Amino acid sequence: MRDAKPRASHFIAGAYAEDEQGDVIEVIYPGSGEKVAQVHSATPEIVEQALTAASSAQTAWSAMLGTERGRILRRAAEIIRERNRELSELETIDTGKPLQETLVADATSAADALEWFGNLAASLRGEHIQLGKDWAYSIREPLGVCVGIGAWNYPTQIAAWKGAPALACGNTMVFKPSEETPLCALKVAEALTEAGAPAGVYNVIQGRGDVGATLVSDPRVAKVSLTGSVPTGKKVYAAAAEGMRHVTMELGGKSPILIFDDADLETAVGGAILGNFYSTGQICSNGTRVFVQKDIKDAFLARLAERLKGITMGDPLDEAVNYGPMVSEAQLKIVLDFIEKGKAEGARLVTGGKRVGRNGWFIEPTVFADVADDMTIAREEIFGPVASILDFDTEEEVLARANATPFGLSAGVFTQDVTRAHRIARAFQAGSCWINTYNLTPVEVSFGGSKLSGVGRENGLAAIEHFSQLKTVYVGMEGVDAPY
């Protein structure tokens, strides 16, 4: 295998850093189960160095013109685009997602975020408010040092989706990737530094939950942006509250896709495929509860099973492969357990259901039909390639069932009836909804969850609100009229 590894575990104050006293975190290539690299978890000294670097750099970074900050972000976007193949290969090694996917979905998405927020940096501003002869104005200010904590499914993208708006607003960042996928964020830090980001503006340190927890409770930290599971989100939100820190929580989901009998069948099947099997099902916004109107259920299931035969499973670094393994053996076991529960609770296995007999953490794409709302596979996030198909009769009924979940990340509807499509989008209890498509998340559009799926939004103009704050200044023009 080509050696695309970063040079050390951490990236602090503009350079790679190492402290071999930190626990070893092994990097296993999910396509073979082989160890391909290792990093060291951050020791207290490394955590201190990173937070000191980020705090020291923040004042000067925020004092730079937005135009200059933006230029650096856009240059980093160009560097990342030039290195797309190398970064995509690293993303594939880290996550096991097929190179066919990573070439178009990961470094490219990171570059889009850096470019888009880079373009915005010069336009950030407050407002002027006339109050008779007095007046007031507002100043949009950065929050300070921000901590980013990533999940393992999109390590390059998450590092940039958090870093780009944070830096555009004049904040600095300490980013901790998931311990499952520690490599890619280091390359984002490298690109930013080569693009001219001053030392300390964007730092990456490795570690498990304990390192994340240390960062979240440090008094120098003004904001925490987490991508992870709901249980971790609850802990991080609570810890951040101690210091009244700002938070963005991008958490899990159990999102519905509603397919009406007037939908274009191929489009709907395509949406269900994207919403359940892309990235081997390891996507937070996946539509894993697929509600299909009863009279098209058989046709839908037949076409879905047929199209899943088009999957090419194999070494994810082979560009002909379009379906990879799970990220880790642990995640593979979690998914197999859910499949057993699905069978035990009476769901009908249409296709898949088994581990694949080859090295690496491969599992067949799995479809259950006749799933009932109260089954475990219809209630809990699986985070693997397991689609649950549920039947429905009426719009009113399916909407109530779709919303009957504590999660609220995403939702989709497939129908040719334009009025119904918008009526349903309006009624969905979810942060990101799609009509006649699924799982498209361009940087221009804000993304995030409601209910247990999260707080705050990434991407779009909304992200600026979550990485900056307004200071208001009231200007008295006529002397002070005090009562005594």
Q: Which stretch binds ligand NAD (CB under 6 A): 16-24, 51-59, 222-230, 467-475?
A: 222-230
Q: Which stretch binds ligand NAD (CB under 6 A): 132-140, 205-213, 290-298, 353-361?
A: 205-213
Residue whose C-beta lies closest to ligand NAD? 212
Among residues 213, 305, 427, 462, which is the contact residue for ligand NAD, using CB under 6 A? Answer: 213
Residue 89's nearest CA partner among 75, 71, 69, 107 is 107
Residue 284 annotated in active site: yes
Residue 153 as a binder of ligand NAD (CB under 6 A): the answer is yes
- Residues 421, 422, 425, CA angle at the centre, nearest 5°? 90
Structure tokens at 295: 């009279």
Residue 174's nearest CA partner among 154, 145, 150, 133 is 145
Site for ligand NAD in 266-285 (CB under 6 A): 284
Q: How far apart are CA 208 and CA 213, in angstroms?
A: 9
Residue 162 annotated in active site: yes
φ/ψ of residue 147, rounded to 5: -110, 130
CA-based end-to-end distance of the chain: 81
For residue 389, the cross-strand partners are: 290
User: Shortest gap between Cβ of 239 and ligand NAD (angstroms)?
Assistant: 7
In angstroms, what is the C-alpha Rg of the chain? 23
Residue 304 as a binder of ligand NAD (CB under 6 A): the answer is no
x/- contact string, 427-466, with ligand NAD (CB under 6 A)?
A: ----------------------x----x------------
Q: Which stretch binds ligand NAD (CB under 6 A): 6-14, 125-133, 144-152, 332-340?
A: 144-152
User: Shortest gap between Cβ of 188 and ligand NAD (angstroms)?
Assistant: 15
- Residues 286, 288, 291, CA angle at the centre, nearest 5°? 125
Residue 91 as a binder of ligand NAD (CB under 6 A): the answer is no
**Per the residue annotation, which of 284, 297, 364, 395 is the catalytic one?**
284
Say if residue 318 is exposed, middle or buried (CB neighbours under 10 Å; 0-12, 13-18, 19+).
middle
Residue owning tokens 């695309």: 4
**Per the residue annotation, which of 162, 176, 187, 254 is the catalytic one?**
162
Residue 19 as a binder of ligand NAD (CB under 6 A): the answer is no
Residue 199 as a binder of ligand NAD (CB under 6 A): the answer is no
**Per the residue annotation, which of 250, 364, 381, 395 is the catalytic one?**
250
Q: What is the DSSP string of 408-467?
A: ESEEEEE-S-HHHHHHHHHH--SSEEEESS-----TTS-B--EETTEES-BSTTHHHHHS
- Asked whether the beta carbons of 155 and 177 are under 8 A apart, the reply is yes
Residue 458 annotated in active site: yes
User: Cα torsion at 232, 238, 241, 246 (round to 10°)?
Assistant: 20
x/- contact string, 379-398, with ligand NAD (CB under 6 A)?
A: --x-x---------------
User: Shortest gap between Cβ of 309 and ligand NAD (angstroms)?
Assistant: 28
Q: Which stretch binds ligand NAD (CB under 6 A): 86-94, 107-115, 173-181, 316-324?
A: 173-181
Q: How far apart are CA 135 and CA 338, in angstroms?
A: 61
User: Shortest gap between Cβ of 458 and ligand NAD (angstroms)?
Assistant: 7
Among residues 4, 149, 247, 387, which is the contact residue for ligand NAD, using CB under 6 A? Answer: 149
User: Shortest gap between Cβ of 367 and ligand NAD (angstroms)?
Assistant: 20
Residue 336 as a binder of ligand NAD (CB under 6 A): the answer is no
Among residues 11, 117, 152, 392, which is the contact residue for ligand NAD, using CB under 6 A? Answer: 152
In the bound state with ligand NAD, the residue whose beta carbon lies nearer, of 176 and 466, is 176
Q: How far apart are CA 337 and CA 17, in angstroms?
A: 40
Residue 28 as a binder of ligand NAD (CB under 6 A): the answer is no
Q: How far is CA 412 from the centre of its chain?
A: 18
User: Shortest gap between Cβ of 226 and ligand NAD (angstroms)?
Assistant: 6
Q: How far apart are CA 371 and CA 292, in angstroms?
A: 11
Catalytic residues: 162, 250, 284, 458
Q: Which residues bind ligand NAD (CB under 6 A)?
A: 149-153, 176, 178-179, 208-209, 212-213, 216, 227-229, 232, 235-236, 250-253, 284, 381, 383, 409, 449, 454
